[in-house]
Structure formats: structure tokens, C-alpha cells
Amino acid sequence: MRHAAYSYAMQQILNALCDPTRRNALVILWDGSEHCVCELMDRLDASQSRMSRHMKVLREAGLVIDRRDAQWVRYRRNPDMTPEIMAVMSAVLNAEKSFELEKA
């Protein structure tokens, strides 16, 4: 996948949103508080390496930030996203939710 430099960030964000496990992680992280990888593993039924890699994708897309806290790494949503990206995130997470409700 090639892309002009100017839209590389956008591309990374959309790639990050393409995976259901990553979107589920975002739903959890979107409460604004911190969550360690082991919690996300448990709640999303993902192996350790799998979860760690998914979090790396989200981090490199700028959607979440992490912090070392003793032996844990605490992830949370990036509080410094541009309004445009925040709008994308709200819309995607809200749409996802609406699809889930639709089925229930």
C-alpha cells in the first residue's frame, strides 16, 4: 500500500480501525481511563503477543498512548487528537455500537 506522505497519518488510522479486535480495544479504552495489556487480553480473549501487536498498531496510528507503570504498560486514548480525528473515532465507535444494537 503506497500513499502520499500527506495522508500517511490518515492511512494509518484507517488501517488501525480495520481490525475488529483493535476496534474492541478502542471501545474499552474510550472510557478515558487506563487499561493494561493483560486486562485487554482477558476481556478480548486475545493471546499476549497478539494483543501487544494490536496495541502497537493503535499507538503508532496515534489513537492511544501508553505509560510504563512498574511491570505494566497502561494504555489510554490519546487526549491530544485533532478534532477531525476525534470526529472519525466518535462516528466509527458509534456506528459499531448501532450495528450491535441492531442485532440484539
Partner DNA sequence: TATGAATATGCGGCATGTCGCATATGCGTA
Partner DNA sequence: TACGCATATGCGACATGCCGCATATTCATA
Exposed, middle or buried, 89 (CB in 10 Å: 0-12/13-18/19+)? middle
Contact between 59 and 74 (Cβ < 8 Å):
no
- Which three three-digit cell numbers place residue 41? 487480553
Q: How far is the CB of 83 from a second copy (least distance, A)?
A: 9
Under rule CB under 8 A, residue 50 binds a second copy: no
Shortest Å distance, C-beta 35 to DNA: 9
**Which residue, 5 or 70, has its beta carbon nearer to a second copy?**
5
Q: Is 65 in the site for a second copy (CB under 8 A)?
A: no
Cβ 83 to DNA shortest distance, Å: 26
Among 47, 49, 71, 98, indicate the residue that binds a second copy (CB under 8 A).
Answer: 98
Query: Which spans of this chain sit near a second copy (rule: CB under 8 A)?
Result: 1, 3-7, 9-11, 13-15, 17-20, 82, 84-85, 87-88, 90-92, 94-96, 98-100, 102-103
